[in-house]
Structure 1
Amino acid sequence: MKSPRAVRSPGGLSVRLDVRSLVVVAGLLLAALAASVVLIGTGDFAIPAGDVLKTLAGGGSASQEFIINELRLPRVLVALLVGASLGVGGALFQAISRNPLGSPDVLGLGQGATTGALVMIVLFSGSAAQVTAGALVGGLVTGLGIYALAWKRGVHGYRLVLVGIGVSAIVTGVNGYLMTRADIVDAARALVWMTGSLEGRDWSQVWPLLVLCAVLVPLVLGNGRALKMMEMGDDVSYALGVRVERVRMALLVAAVLLTSAATAAAGPVGFVALTAPQLARRLTRSPGPNLLPSLCMGAALLVVSDWASQRLFGADQLPVGVVTNVVGGVYLLWLLVSERRAGRI
């Protein structure tokens, strides 16, 4: 695959295209869409892929339209949106912290969102909408707290990671305490939510995530060039005209909102935000944050993981968070071993 090409328009505008990255993005999008069609047809009432496409186009039977449009399509859309949000959120955190471990899983945002959800479940026996709102507030408060504690004439990447690890430990202890206060019914409900699950997701989870992604993803992608410059250091970025703190703050807020909303919709689905940017970078072989490839990789990962959980264990028998944790943990161990053999750790 050739190196990036510069394309010049008749008006003199020059655009630099990375052909390999474009091919990777197109391949991941096709994989995510194909897996989505297969996932929609998977369940106790199996539907062939051709019938799924026919029904989505408005030509299916009444029973197929109900099963697909009301029961399965919202779940798949939530999986795509949650995976995309976690993928781009993880890429943002890793780029801002300049650390491959700088993901929401490590920084404690998922644990903070879990605290908000547990408060609503254990203390107030809240409804599904209240639990979602509690998780969103918990993630936002945790993210703002980490940023405030890490601030010292700016936010240094390693300081952000270290503060996040400390906050994560504290919040995890709070979550353990809340679980001890729960009765058996609330504890079982909380445990399923904490694992990360797409069971029972409907259109009420789709629309808020869709609106949030429609607003934040273009904002994030529009600042991709500035973020790539920031990876060279604050001094170089300032010299190139980047308003470093303003861009960093805006992107951190966007990353916190995306990951908190994803956690609120599906629970703390582990390792997607950590592994999606790493896998995307290995496929594109391109330096920089790889925001769009990470977004597509996250969506494909979560849909494929949900299909695997249903295909191997039956519908709703195994939460998707279990699959992503196992796959992500294996990948992390492999990454550590390969880095050690290469002498980089």
Structure 2
Amino acid sequence: MTTQTVEFILSGRTQRKRRWYTVTGILAALAFVLMWAMLLLGNTIYPVQDVIRVLFGEQVSGASFTVGTLRLPRMLSGVLAGFAFGIAGNTFQTMLRNPLANPNVIGITSGSSAAAVFCIIILQASNSVVSIAAIIGGLVSVLCLYFLSRSKGKSFSIGRVILVGIGLQAMLNAVVSYLLLIGAEQDIPAAIRWLSGSLNGIQMEEITPMFLIVLICSPILIVLGKQLSILELGEQAATSLGVRTDQVRMALVLSAVGMIALATATTGPIAFVAFLSGPIAKRLVGAGMSNVIPSGLVGINLVLASDLIGQFAFDVRYPVGVITGIIGAPYLIYLLIRMNRKGDL
């Protein structure tokens, strides 16, 4: 290898790193601006200094309740849920080497939702029980997807995983519809908030479990980001490069499902955030660099921006999941058409 070749490789690596830091910094700055917009904007627009005083624990007439009790939990839940959906969705898409392989499409989110709605409507369970049930529901969905996608004598097919996942999602959505039909009238609003994906009415104590799971699982996904990129090359290539594929894949799946399940338990299944974050981050960051953190930041920006649009862009206020659904549905249709033409489905 000549000196010029080495210099060319090092120069390319430096450029990719510079682009990664630039994109990540811009996404973080945009998220910071949107976070402040969530705190400042509303029926009453408070000065920045009043908001800062509330954040430091001072009592400010009017602002303490509006900012501290209503807007702050809403903003924090949007940040945590957006980061969880974004980073977990990117994990599944990269690991399965397919942009359709995200928790919304392959039934994982629906599994968490069905379990949570069952607890809300049938058991009238507490929020902690709902969160635990959501995690179990997500894990059971993953196991069902794995076993139903296996086929004797045939090689592993990602397309088969997608099709089975879509069928699993349809079945679980039917279960949710049935539960809504038989549920008591007083329990239906809580379940509907779930299904629409909303940040409305979230209290600070509901955020704690999601904060803990993000704090525990996101470092695992970030640390395993390099191995995740290698898994994208395929099973044989990853094994030859020294990756313990089974252990790494298990850690990735458990961490991603845990984040998705608890985020869903808190905010409901906010549509298409997990689906859009990875591809957007990959397009911004470019090839050759991990887009785990950028995917989480894209998720934060999607959730916060969509919630602000839902609150202030129309005469009627819409839940954040409605806005993200409007954004993501056309992209899903485009991907299905493209994959069908390529023969991947």
Aligned 8 A contact 1:83 1:302 in 2 = yes
1:305 aligns with 2:314: no
Q: After superposition, where does 1:6-21 map in structure 2 within 5 Å?
A: 18-21=17-20
1:124 deviates by 2.2
User: What SS class does the counterpart of residue 105 from structure 2 fall into?
Assistant: helix
Q: After superposition, where does 1:174-185 map in structure 2 within 5 Å?
A: 174-185=175-186
Closer/same/farther in 2, CA of residues 174 and 288 from structure 1, 3 Å limit: farther
In structure 1, C-alpha distance between the alignment counterparts of 2:294 and 2:228, rounded to whole Å: 15
Residue in structure 2 matched with residue 214 of structure 1 by the alignment? 215
Q: After superposition, where does 1:299-338 map in structure 2 within 5 Å?
A: 299-313=300-314, 317-333=317-333
In structure 1, C-alpha distance between the alignment counterparts of 2:132 and 2:319, rounded to whole Å: 21
How many residues matched?
330
1:321 deviates by 0.8
Residue by residue over 1:176-225, the C-alpha shift from the partner in whole angstroms, topping out at 9 and shown as x without a partner, is 22222123333343222211111111221222112111111111111111
1:300 deviates by 1.1
1:25 deviates by 0.9
In structure 2, C-alpha distance between the alignment counterparts of 1:235 and 1:102, rounded to whole Å: 20
Residue by residue over 1:229-257, the C-alpha shift from the partner in whole angstroms, topping out at 9 and shown as x without a partner, is 11111111111111111111110111111
Aligned 8 A contact 2:198 2:267 in 1 = yes
Residue by residue over 1:146-177, the C-alpha shift from the partner in whole angstroms, topping out at 9 and shown as x without a partner, is 23444679975444333322321221222222
Q: TM-score scaled by structure 1?
A: 0.86
In structure 1, C-alpha distance between the alignment counterparts of 2:199 and 2:36, rounded to whole Å: 16
In structure 2, C-alpha distance between the alignment counterparts of 1:260 and 1:34, rounded to whole Å: 27
The amino acid across from 1:330 in the alignment is P
Residue in structure 2 matched with residue 244 of structure 1 by the alignment? 245
Residue in structure 1 matched with residue 265 of structure 2 by the alignment? 264
In structure 2, C-alpha distance between the alignment counterparts of 1:323 and 1:56, rounded to whole Å: 29
1:144 aligns with 2:153: no
1:115 aligns with 2:114: yes
Residue in structure 1 matched with residue 4 of structure 2 by the alignment? none
Aligned 8 A contact 1:140 1:256 in 2 = yes
The amino acid across from 1:103 in the alignment is N
Aligned 8 A contact 1:269 1:321 in 2 = yes
In structure 1, C-alpha distance between the alignment counterparts of 2:156 and 2:300, rounded to whole Å: 29
Q: TM-score scaled by structure 2?
A: 0.86
In structure 2, C-alpha distance between the alignment counterparts of 1:293 and 1:135, rounded to whole Å: 26
In structure 2, C-alpha distance between the alignment counterparts of 1:86 and 1:147, rounded to whole Å: 21
Unpaired runs of at least 5, structure 2: 1-10
The amino acid across from 1:136 in the alignment is I
In structure 1, C-alpha distance between the alignment counterparts of 2:238 and 2:69, rounded to whole Å: 49
1:95 deviates by 0.7
In structure 2, C-alpha distance between the alignment counterparts of 1:178 and 1:146, rounded to whole Å: 22
Q: CA RMSD in A?
A: 2.7
Aligned 8 A contact 2:105 2:169 in 1 = yes
Equivalent residue for 1:4, pick from 7, 13, 20: 13
In structure 2, C-alpha distance between the alignment counterparts of 1:199 and 1:97, rounded to whole Å: 34
1:278 aligns with 2:279: yes
